[in-house]
Amino acid sequence: MSVELPIYFDYAATTPVDERVAKKMCNCLTREGIYGNPGSHTHRFGWWAAELVDKARKQVAELINAEPKEIIFTSGATEANNLAIKGVALKYKNKGRHIITSKVEHKAVIEPCKYLQEQGFDVTFLDPEPDGTIALDKLEAAIRDDTILISLMHVNNELGSINDIAAFGKLAHECKIIFHVDAAQSAGKLPIDVRALHVDLMSFSGHKVYGPKGIGALFINKDSKLNLVPQMHGGRQERGFRSGTMATHQIVGMGEAFAIAKEELAKESARLAELRRSFWDKIKDIDAIKLNGSLEHGAPHILNVSFGFIEGESIIMALKDIAVSTGSACSSDTLELSYVLTAIGAQNEMAHGSIRFSFGRYTTVEEIDYAAKLIREKVAQLRSLSPLWDMYKQGVDLETISWKGDH
Amino acid sequence: MQYSEKVIEHFENPKNIGELDENDPRVGTGMIGSPACGDVMKLQIQVEDGIIVDVKFKTYGCGSAIASSSYATELIKGKAIEEALKVSNKDIAEELDLPPIKLHCSVLAGQAIAAAVQNYKEKNNITA
């Protein structure tokens, strides 16, 4: 079987909409379809749309063992995170002003927390372990009498490392602290049972699970009896937690995507884990290569690899037929090295050459084989250009050199 | 990063890759940058009768760093060393149409030329 180029290995950034999903979405747009406002209670157009939204809410809930009424649709996981974090902080600020999160969270968690810092909240950003996970004892040690919220991710988007959410949740509840989890990367990849995980709030994204962009959801545990300060005010849709006309086609798309994810999760996760392992097996003997995160305990779809002594953006350019992402400073608009790799203590000459490969529903064995071969070739080529590689081969310790032209 | 075709051409087919003998008195070596910043350029010139007769480079860095050093070697080959020093980072940036955030790559290339010339002069006790 031939390989179609370019190859998409960036499923952790986004996924294509599944055709089955797109079909359902298209049915909610035009005059022939269900175009009514789900909030219109006075006629059938509205009722039909509301029916579809109800179904989608149930589909999202079923993937995570929640009840439909516990699902609030938002514009994406970013908004869900903002609603959870700012909504809790502003509601419960009189009980305490301390929040715990980590240094390797997604920006959609870190930035709301920084915003709250400016508003007078005290935020602890926990250091990760070298594999990118958060240690339970460090979390426990950070808890104070005035801690009102813990927000930690399920799966790290750069490394694929998996946190022990159930243990964190149990601890949080013993200490009567609200527990929020960003599950944008784990939904559809790992089984999620919100009851067993003891979470109060959990954020989801549609487009990471073969649904459309521009839609996400926040799970709000009914047993936690939480109140949140809404971040969007208006017509009091979504039980007042999130105003704004419900986007029927987006919601239907997310619902269908989550239903398919539930259907295929066990089989698909096993297949992805196998592809990931096979890919690593084909490249792991490259000299000065390092897997960031954990092979055994990582999410099935993400593999973060450092190629020592070559720079990430140059690797991406050399691999132009493979769509991947990098934590390299040179590819970003800010020239800052990935804060996640920095937080796990990666050395410069390794961190700058890190690439995130992420696989998905349409990844084939042939693509894995083709990419592995190309990578071996291109890494060797770039190393033949690298003065650092020469020094490494000559046994020079790069730490001992006094570098000129630091900028 | 969307690069100009010239950057891509230099990146895919870099000119004058390699090394010259550092111990040869005719050879000047300049190394600029640091692993922490993600760019290290090593540029070497071989000088005969004040003329740069050969240039080699190796670069650790992003696509534009590799392209900038490749183009820099092309620019100075065959030039008198004093002429080579006149090559400015602007010459490199304009030719390669570097995006603003990558201008430092052309600055590094200019510094690498200067460092190589300085090293050659020091080895041969040339002042001024």
Our CA-based measurement puts residue B50 at a distance from the nearest CA of chain A, in whole angstroms, of 26
Q: Touching check for B63 and chain A: CB below 8 Å?
A: yes
Residues of chain A positioned with their CB less than 8 A from the CB of B14: 385
pLDDT for residue A235 is more than 80: yes
- For A139-184, the pLDDT digits (tens) are 999 999 999 999 999 999 999 999 999 999 999 999 999 999 999 9
**Of the candidates A262, A339, A353, the residue with the CA atom closest to the CA atom of residue A307:** A353
- For A243-292, the pLDDT digits (tens) are 999 999 999 999 999 999 999 999 999 999 999 999 999 999 999 999 99
Q: For chain A, what percent of residues have pLDDT higher than 90?
A: 92
* pLDDT bracket for residue A345 (50, 70, 90): confident
Nearest-by-Cβ selection for A406 from B34, B41, B115: B34
- For A58-85, the pLDDT digits (tens) are 999 999 999 999 999 999 999 999 999 9
Q: Touching check for B99 and chain A: CB below 8 Å?
A: no
Distance CA(B110)–CA(B115), nearest Å, equals 9
From the centroid of its chain, how far is CA B38?
Answer: 16
Instruction: Indicate the average pLDDT of chain A.
Output: 96
**Of the candidates A305, A304, A296, the residue with the CA atom closest to the CA atom of residue A277:** A296
Q: Give residue A374's pLDDT.
A: 97
Q: What is the DSSP letter of A30?
A: S
Q: Give residue A327's pLDDT.
A: 79
pLDDT for residue A406 is more than 60: no
Distance CA(A53)–CA(A343), nearest Å, equals 41
pLDDT for residue B36 is more than 90: no
**Are the Cβ atoms of B59 and A335 closer than 8 angstroms?**
no
**Are the Cβ atoms of A388 and B66 closer than 8 angstroms?**
no
Distance CA(A309)–CA(A178), nearest Å, equals 44
Q: Give residue B2's pLDDT.
A: 83
Q: Touching check for B66 and chain A: CB below 8 Å?
A: yes
Helices B63-76 + B89-96 axis angle, to 10? 120
- For A184-214, the pLDDT digits (tens) are 999 999 999 999 999 999 999 999 999 999 9
Nearest-by-Cβ selection for A313 from B1, B35, B58: B1
